[in-house]
Amino acid sequence: MKAGLIIAVDGPSGAGKSSSSRALAERLQYRYIDTGALYRVIGLLAWEQRVSLDDKARLGALCQDLPLRFVPSGAKVSIFLGERDITAAIRQPEVSQMASKVSAQPVVREGLLTLQRNMGKGGGVVMEGRDIGTVVFPDADVKFFLDASAEERGRRRYAELQQQGVTTTIETTVREMAERDQRDSSREHAPLRCADDATALDTTGLSLDEVIGIMLRHVENARKC
């Protein structure tokens, strides 16, 4: 029996990656790591400090020695930068857009690559992101690529923003998601794509329990190999 697997979960925003990855990690008693949050942190810092996307030196510096902590609390995970709780701040629409833009910069992706690999190299981890199975851990034990229809992803993201008290419209949410999808999938460095050996899972119309059930079956098969 194989234990301490590295599980990669990739896909676009609104596909159900976060809820599925957290629930899967909880069921397996694995660590959950939201690598997208790392880019959101850089996006937040760049946005707050008004760092230009052309300033490669400053962008690279933002990636160094990040005092990040992921603190689980029930079904949620709080993210701290030093003593500052930035869980809500990194989910602001403006920060989401900036995160997508900085994530297209090679200096940022290279700067965070080692950090991500160090966070997951011991196994026993569910890592959520956009290039985990293709770049960060191309030899991950289990890989998933979650997706859903554009309408469903937009609805989910809008509901999430409403819960956070963010004032927006579903039309704006769908448009911003489409813009981010285009940037993420067309960038030259580590684009968003489904790894050749990943299990592609369309979550449209599926409940969280149904998605977790499918994922657990694949994990159990990998453990037996």
The pLDDT of residue 136 is 96
Within-domain flag for 220: no
- If one counts the domains in the chain, the total is 1
Give one DSSP letter per residue of 68-84, joined into a string: EEEEEETTEEEEEETTE
CATH number for 178: 3.40.50.300
Q: Strand, helix or coil at 29?
A: coil
Within-domain flag for 221: no
The pLDDT of residue 166 is 81
Residue span of the structural domain in which 15 resides: 6-214
* Residue that has been written with the tokens 């880019």 in this structure: 39
Within-domain flag for 63: yes
The pLDDT of residue 129 is 93
Q: Which of 165, 184, 169, 164 is nearest to 102 (CA)?
A: 184
Per-residue H/E/C for 111-170 = HHHHHHHHHHCCCCEEEEECCHHHHHCCCCCEEEEEECCHHHHHHHHHHHHHHCCCCCCH
Within-domain flag for 32: yes
What residues contact residue 196 under an 8 Å CB cut-off, 6+ apart?
none
- Give whole-number Cα distances, 97 to 22, 33, 101, 132, 173, in Å: 23, 21, 6, 20, 11
pTM across the whole model: 0.84
The pLDDT of residue 200 is 97
Quote the tokens at residue 29: 């008693």
Query: Which one-letter amino acid corresponds to residue 201?
Result: L
Backbone angles phi, psi at 51, to 5 degrees: -80, 130
Averages of pLDDT over runs of 10 residues in the chain (225 residues) are: 82 92 94 91 95 94 89 80 93 88 91 91 93 96 95 88 84 86 82 94 96 97 86
Give the integer Cα–Cα distance in Å for 137 and 153: 26
The pLDDT of residue 191 is 85
The pLDDT of residue 1 is 43
Say which DSSP state 200 is in. E
